[in-house]
Structure 1
């Protein structure tokens, strides 16, 4: 990016500005550069921020606008900078040591699949992403119960994609798929757990888990065990 006419004219009376216009990296040789000098330097070359001891927020923003991935080199980036970075490049959240909750929401805002870039996503993030796309439950390593329930309440078949679903999740899913209420006795819950576990194994081996599920639920109903 080139210097503006205004900057060129101002540099006539400002030797530091003149130095930066000639070589933005030279800002490193200027003691306590003003915010305007910092912004000019990083606007001309975003790498110049590495030469500034304590860059101002405005200079950091210029850098992120030009290259969102430079969030990695900004120490303790503010929430605004984090959000700006991940809004432009969602995977940039992996470069932030401790991303704030708002940045995580910004990451999945337009595309819930971006949750894959978030390490150990919070409960709120999981639920928000699953609400938009229930099938994503299969991609979460350890989905919380709220996320599991959100998935099966929206798409009951999602239960067959959860490796280790909670008992409440299994009960809700089976009731929705079977079309009738189930008394939550220990015996019935153990039976449901066995059915869902087997269905998951059958699905993994590309076998007909749906037919197995249908037959097992029918047996339970006919035997009046539910």
Structure 2
């Protein structure tokens, strides 16, 4: 009976230690906690980082300069991970656009980030949904042309549309001419 009580007591103590946060100082500021998490997750091996972001995609924010494989694993878990990846490469941007559009989740993340994306990623996005061009303040002529080729009426959402984009839109649908500025 004594050994049963001893084992029970040890189990309770272990649970208290695990769930009370005794492993970290309690008086760290939020900024210090973020710094500690970043230090911890950045020190993990690539395989451990992949495992971490595969379980919880948002942990990517705590990894300094994550590898392509780690970024891809986070995006496979959730396309929202693109919001937490600092300076994503063109390939990662395109992967995120395809994942978001494939899932049918035309979400806020893409509308917020599309302007900062590489031209190639923007083209992929407008090929999926030309309406996204309205979230790009100054789309390149290539992006404009891709959008109007799919839906000429998006020309009305392009401020300072290029002459070529206007011409292409009217060529595809003459009724678009009334929307030109």
Note if contact 1:71-1:96 (Cα within 8 Å) is conserved in structure 2: yes
| Aligned partner (choices 118, 123, 131) of residue 122 of structure 1 | 118
Question: Bigger radius of gyration, 1 or 2?
Answer: 1
Deviation of residue 102 (structure 1)?
A: 2.0
Deviation of residue 51 (structure 1)?
A: 4.1
| Aligned partner (choices 181, 196, 208) of residue 180 of structure 2 | 196
Q: Which structure's relative contact order is higher, taking Cα pairs within 8 Å and 6+ residues apart? A: 2
Q: In structure 2, do the counterparts of structure 1 residues 116 and 196 end up closer, same or farther at CA, with 3 Å as the change threshold? A: same
State the Cα deviation string for residues 110-153 of structure 1 (Å, max 9, x = none): 33335325351111111111111112212222222111101111
Q: In structure 2, do the counterparts of structure 1 residues 27 and 154 end up closer, same or farther at CA, with 3 Å as the change threshold? A: same
Identify the range of structure 1 (146-155 vs 48-57) with the bigger mean alpha-carbon deviation.
Answer: 48-57
What number of residue pairs does the alignment pair up? 144
* Matched position secondary structure for 2:64: coil
Superposed CA RMSD = 3.1
2:148 pairs with 1:148: no
Considering fraction of residues, name the structure with more helix: 2
Deviation of residue 80 (structure 1)?
A: 0.8
Using the alignment, how far apart are the partners of 1:164 and 1:57 within structure 2? 45
Alignment match, 1:139: 135
User: Structure 1: 5+ residue runs without aligned partners?
Assistant: 1-21, 29-46, 180-191, 198-226
Deviation of residue 94 (structure 1)?
A: 2.0
User: Structure 2: 5+ residue runs without aligned partners?
Assistant: 1-16, 25-35
Note if contact 2:79-2:99 (Cα within 8 Å) is conserved in structure 1: no
